[in-house]
Chain A
């Protein structure tokens, strides 16, 4: 390989005093060659995004100070460049795309204008700009280029917005593209398209791409080389085949071991009568009113399924498929417009008063965002006791239950007197599980319960949920967008598309022999399929490199 395009040498960024770590990033050295995709992979807090921002000289200097190191590009140290020189480089020679396509575009300017502004800022003459905008819009595969440039961001989908961001980043044909989790907020099928686009554009233009991600599946799909970061340090770098196939550092092994994989063996099927049976469940959202006329959206449209005790049913689909709405209808946080929800023989779809109150002890929920699901002003103990106390369980008995549950989910009894902000995401999710179990439910609905967690924590929480389901003989409804997670924990799955069920059955069967075209498309889009096994081909990795198993401690 030729001389590196970009080299980061001994980069150290100090954190403000009083934190648990003195450095956000410590002694990081990396190189990026022309025409190469370097993935920086790590969990939250590993310093991967800070490293990327440091290259662009975009760190908030009052909080994160670069204490040592160099970032070399074309013989110059970017860290010592004047703000004016740096501004000329940004967006021209080095450009960046971000995670959140919803907030990184200006909502009050058309996308054509926004792309043009990049060209204008870097001195492209006015008469050339319109043509260049058209070229770029075409290059990133946006439909109908002539009319789409006149649209405002809110009329575009998340994937289309990310394409606009890429068009803006590529406007000046940069040497280096920095992509900070560019597909994390997108659905899998969209993610697969954007990854393909970045890969194609990178090959055509010979760019160097610095790609930040937390997902090893994405790494497997896009990277040439990988750098693994932990607590602000690079623990391992190497070509993708070596790092994924034969990781050396224990942390890399642990991370790779924690990546959920498609399961091969089918669990024993529960033979009990269903505890929950849903028939023709329908939920309609109405908007508008007198002036504009009522608009109806069928968020859930005639959905039917059963769940038995001791069984986990997965509800999978992309955003807008209605999976979360179903969970909310079952728990009566959202009202049911039509259909029947029978729990233990009783229809609870329209239950009120006493019947609904009693149902509240039997069905519980674990929420997605561990930061939003606990009241920040209540101690953990108060949050967990609220349920039992509302249902007139005597306080000593409720406290005994709480102590038992805290221990069961792996927290010490002292946790009860502390506040949510003192816990990590994984711990909060455990607290959320303890809170749900405190009323001794029969049905547990887990709505994206592990989606906000890092992979290693994700694996632990999944394991906890599995154990608890068996111990308490729960029926579990597991709502997720991640097919790998679903395959891991579910016995049966229901695949949803635009509020309707397209396919349902035992998880191994649905994922290895998907009958519906949409299921096939979803499975095809799962990142890193070639690496961690393709369920449609008997779950054996087709990648020539053997997958390292074990190291799941």
Chain B
């Protein structure tokens, strides 16, 4: 087995993170089977507190909808937004970072100034503004989160590529007549992926948080509720029905924690020496 995977499988942080994520993903996928009832439909009396009715363990909201079912269904929105926006941001970041780091000179200057332009705008306000302009929908939320989160990836990839491009094996490839494109894709990028993957798992976490915050403020996709939307909708009744915002909040906390644990474990697995703080 690949040594990185082996180290990962032995790391308790990775196991905890992975288990939580697996549960969240499976419940998102199998929600219709677990809760055949329509999550939007009224199931029983409104404001049912948790742990009273065994059929509705986590209680119901002000319209009598099952919160447990809601959490399972809404995991989809949160996870899809988190993943899709991160994948898009990583792709943009890698392309811009690789070009800037590899070619240097004025290309680097131009691309990095653009990157800094995006970085200087407060991310959350920027994302909110974009969702407002694009009209709230899942796609616009994904786009907004992607646009505010690619710059750190670009900077990371740029610095990695810039240090790799003067390595002897890259020089050797140049001397052998390989094209710039091939050198970037085949020689350099595979060597930069480990920190990017570790960073990406943290980005999914922050994307979920950003989405939750956008939905909380009422700019979420009205047709696809998310965890953040549930909290936002319940905030007016928080004094009467704490459970309506507490459980979605707890789920967000767990998933974000899981992603952070996984990210840290990935980082350790890719840099075993740093993690153990040992000398060679």
What residues make up the interface of A, taking CB atoms closer than 8 Å to B?
60, 62-63, 328, 331, 333, 357, 360-361, 363-365, 367-369, 372-378, 383, 386-387, 390-391, 432, 435-436, 439
Contact = CB atoms under 8 A, between A and B. Distances in A.
A333 B177 CA distance: 11
B177 A361 contact: yes
A373 B176 contact: no
Contacts of A328: 171
Contact of B279 (A60, A391, A435): A60
A373 B177 contact: no
A333 B175 contact: yes
B116 interface: no
A63 B191 contact: no
A390 B177 contact: yes
A360 B279 contact: no
Contacts of A367: 168, 171-172
17 contacts: A60-B279, A62-B278, A333-B174, A360-B177, A372-B169, A373-B168, A373-B171, A374-B172, A375-B191, A378-B187, A383-B169, A386-B173, A387-B178, A390-B176, A391-B177, A432-B172, A436-B172
Given A60-B278, A62-B278, A360-B177, A373 B172 contact: yes
Point out which of B171, B172, B278 has the most chain A C-beta atoms below 10 A from its C-beta.
Answer: B172
B169 A364 contact: no
B176 A435 contact: yes
Interface in B137-179: 167-169, 171-179
Contacts of A373: 168-169, 171-172
A383 B176 CA distance: 10
A436 B177 CA distance: 11
B167 A372 contact: yes
B172 to A, nearest CB: 6
A375 B169 contact: yes
B63 to A, nearest CB: 55
Contacts, number: 63
A387 B171 CA distance: 12
B182 A390 contact: yes
Contacts of A383: 169
B54 interface: no
Contacts of A435: 172, 176
Contacts of B190: 377
User: Which DSSP category, helix, strand, loop or mixed, fits chain B's interface?
Assistant: helix
B279 A390 contact: no
A375 B175 CA distance: 14
A374 B178 CA distance: 15
Nearest to A377: B190
B172 A365 contact: yes
The interface size bin for chain B is 10 to 19
Interface of B: 167-169, 171-179, 182, 186-187, 190-191, 278-279
A215 B234 CA distance: 76
Contact of B175 (A63, A363, A377): A363
A55 B91 CA distance: 53
A163 to B, nearest CB: 26
Given A60-B278, A63-B278, A361-B177, A376 B191 contact: yes
B171 A365 contact: yes
Contact of B191 (A360, A377, A436): A377
Given A60-B279, A63-B278, A63-B279, A387 B176 contact: yes
A419 to B, nearest CB: 11
A375 to B, nearest CB: 4
Nearest to A366: B172
A373 B169 CA distance: 4
A398 to B, nearest CB: 12
Contacts of B178: 386-387, 390
A364 B168 contact: no
A384 to B, nearest CB: 10
Given A60-B279, A63-B279, A375-B187, A333 B176 contact: no
A364 B173 CA distance: 10
Contacts of A386: 173, 176, 178
Given A333-B175, A369-B168, 11 more contacts: A328-B171, A363-B175, A367-B171, A367-B172, A373-B168, A373-B171, A375-B187, A377-B190, A390-B182, A391-B177, A435-B176
Contacts of A357: 177
A66 to B, nearest CB: 16
Nearest to B177: A360
Contacts of A387: 176-178
Given A372-B168, A375-B191, A390-B182, A364 B279 contact: no
Contacts of A391: 177
A374 B191 CA distance: 12
Contacts of B179: 390
A315 to B, nearest CB: 17
A122 B159 CA distance: 43
Given A60-B279, A377-B190, A377-B191, A360 B168 contact: no
Contacts of B173: 375, 386
A435 B172 CA distance: 9
B171 A333 contact: yes
